[in-house]
Amino acid sequence: MERTGARRRWNWLLLLPFAGLLWVPLYARQTPELFGFPFFYWYQFAWVIVSAALTGLVYRLTSRGE
Amino acid sequence: MLAVFLSCIALVAAVGFLSSRWWRSDVTALEEWGLAGRQFGAVITWCLIGGDFYTAYTLIAVPALVFGVGASGFFALVYTILVYPFVFVVMPRLWTVAQRDGYITLADFVRGCYNNRWLALAVALSGIAATVPYIALQLAGMQVAMAALGPVFGAHASGWPLVAAFALLAAYDFSSGLRAPASIAVVKDVMIYTLVIAAAVWIPMRLGGYGHIFSAAARSLAVRPVPGFLILPPKQYLSFATLALGSALAAFLYPHMATSVLSARSARTIQRNAIVLPAYTLLLGLVALLGYMAIAAGLHPANANDVVPQLIVRMFGPHFAGFCLATIVIGGLVPAAIMAIAAASLFARNVYHASPAQEARVAKWASLLIKLAALAFVLSGRITYIINFQLLGGIWILQTLPAIVFGLYRRRLAAPALLAGWVAGTVVGTLMAIARGSVYPLHIAGLDLTAYAAIDALVVNLVIATACQLFSRPLARIQDGGQQPRQPSSGQIKLAVNDSH
């Protein structure tokens, strides 16, 4: 049972998207641009992928041994 | 264009009709909807949840806001990113409790958790009230899509798109309801993906690439009477972040979303879905950019909400435009029907307390009333951007968050305190929305705290609930001294067991 609790600690990784996206000054800027997208936009699109990857990672880490 | 439009609608109706004959069964509506989640594999579950989530909100409301105000409309992209980590962590826990105790609504859960019927009633009423403007958004979205077809029954009948939208919804609900099978969700998703990928590739090619679209949008937004911004200015940081956070926390509290989660096959299914559903988020981001494409294309619709249908008609040939407009109508219709039935079942189960024999009949009438209320919202016509319908719903539904999250994690607050918080939050949020709309310009001590009213109301909710808890504790101790100790509810005992592992 304690092992479940230890594994559940990985859930904290999922605060990263909240930090990265709710702290708006981090990305409310024009440059650097990517494929014509201002930073403000491609940064958000990049987080879609990163956030899904993080969630997938946490899923694997928390389901080990099940 | 009209012929293709009507053929697409007829085709989807045929698919729905045929497959509802395939999977006929007799269980009640709410459970049947749940069963869809249990009997189908991950792919179809993915379509079902994604299909409920990405609606006229994505296809019409978000691009309209981006067209009108620029960068701050992209809070919707942040919201649909953040919703999945939240779901991944919180919802499996809720599922585990609900599964064990046979809860199919959040009001059931709250009832079992706190053994307080007033708090359960409050949660149910919030769910129903919040669904009404969300359906209004779908109706308004279907309305603008059909209006883009042009005058069909004579130019004078300008009210026909809304009448048609409402009639379609009522007919669809009547014929299939929640039985509206997974096959429609799959067809609908394929149509939406086709539309979005075509739009995200073809339109920028015609308009000279994304770089050109962004710079054209920046120039045009800057010279508006009320200037918009391509890059979010500091004074909008707080409203942007609170709109995103508030919407993300609220999303899965809506009755139709909660039921889809609670009826999942396993807690792990919910988590797997939370990993792959962001594919829809990419889609939402691309659709949001249609707002800028419309600016770059030089569109000047009388109403910002018309912007996507007009862009489609301008950019695509008449056949594909007909297909796209049908896609938008289906994209609003299917979730609106599911929302109406989920809210109506909630009414029958947790407000009216109908017997199983009555349940279907009560739910049917409630569903009609809910749809009529949604129609009244659309007709009230005070709203510039239809996304405000959904934001208003968010203000109400978010006030149920403390009861649910505290119920899951730390039972620090008692039901009366939570109920007081709910009343305060709901009243304050509603007054703020009536006074200034969903984003309230709050100024405290020289600080500009303009933010999403749902978050302001949630803060009031939590402060009042905590205060009531602190002040009532000495009182409760006195009362407990004179009374028999109360029988703890079965939900509490079971939950305590659950907490130990």
Q: Is B190 helix (H, G, I), strand (E, B) or coil?
A: helix
Spell out the domain ranges in chain A. 2-63
B287 contacts B59 by C-beta, under 8 angstroms: yes
Q: What percent of chain B has pLDDT over 90?
A: 24
- Establish if B442 touches chain A: CB-CB under 8 angstroms: no
pLDDT tier for residue B364 given thresholds of 50, 70 and 90: confident
CA distance B147 to B160: 8
Record: contact B278-A51, CB cut-off 8 A? yes
- Across the range B359-369, mean pLDDT stands at 83
Answer with the residue of higher pLDDT: B356 or B406: B406
> Measured between alpha carbons, how far is residue B357 from residues B107, B112, B184, B328 in Å?
20, 23, 29, 37
Q: Taking CB atoms and an 8 Å cutoff, what residues of chain B touch A30? A: 230-231
Closest CA–CA distance from residue B497 to any residue of chain A (Å): 13
- Across the range B375-404, mean pLDDT stands at 87
Q: Taking CB atoms and an 8 Å cutoff, what residues of chain B touch A59? A: 88, 271-272, 275
Record: contact A48-B231, CB cut-off 8 A? no
> Measured between alpha carbons, how far is residue B14 from residues B22, B25, B195 in Å?
12, 19, 21
Residue B33 has pLDDT above 60, yes or no: no
Best of A8, A16, A41, A54 to disrupt the B interface by mutation (most B CBs within 10 Å)? A41
Closest CA–CA distance from residue B277 to any residue of chain A (Å): 8
ipTM: 0.92
Residue B439 structure tokens: 């984003």
Q: Which of A24, A48, A54 has its CB closest to that of B285?
A: A48
- Across the range A52-63, mean pLDDT stands at 89
User: What was the pLDDT predicted at B394?
Assistant: 93
B232 contacts B72 by C-beta, under 8 angstroms: yes
Query: A37 has which bridge partners?
Result: A34
- Among the ranges A38-47, B17-26, B155-164, which has the highest mean pLDDT value? A38-47
Residue B156 has pLDDT above 50, yes or no: no
- Establish if B272 touches chain A: CB-CB under 8 angstroms: yes
Indicate the CATH number for domain B2-387: 1.20.1730.10
pLDDT in tens, A25-40: 999 888 898 988 999 9
B169 contacts B344 by C-beta, under 8 angstroms: no
- Across the range B304-311, mean pLDDT stands at 90
CA distance B32 to B48: 14
- Across the range B37-41, mean pLDDT stands at 51
Average pLDDT, chain A: 86
User: What was the pLDDT predicted at B130?
Assistant: 94
User: What was the pLDDT predicted at B184?
Assistant: 76
Average pLDDT, chain B: 81
B350 contacts B107 by C-beta, under 8 angstroms: yes
Record: contact A22-B85, CB cut-off 8 A? no
pLDDT in tens, B195-227: 988 998 889 988 888 999 999 999 998 888 888
Which range among B35-44, B119-128, B169-178, B243-252 shows the weakest confidence by mean pLDDT?
B35-44
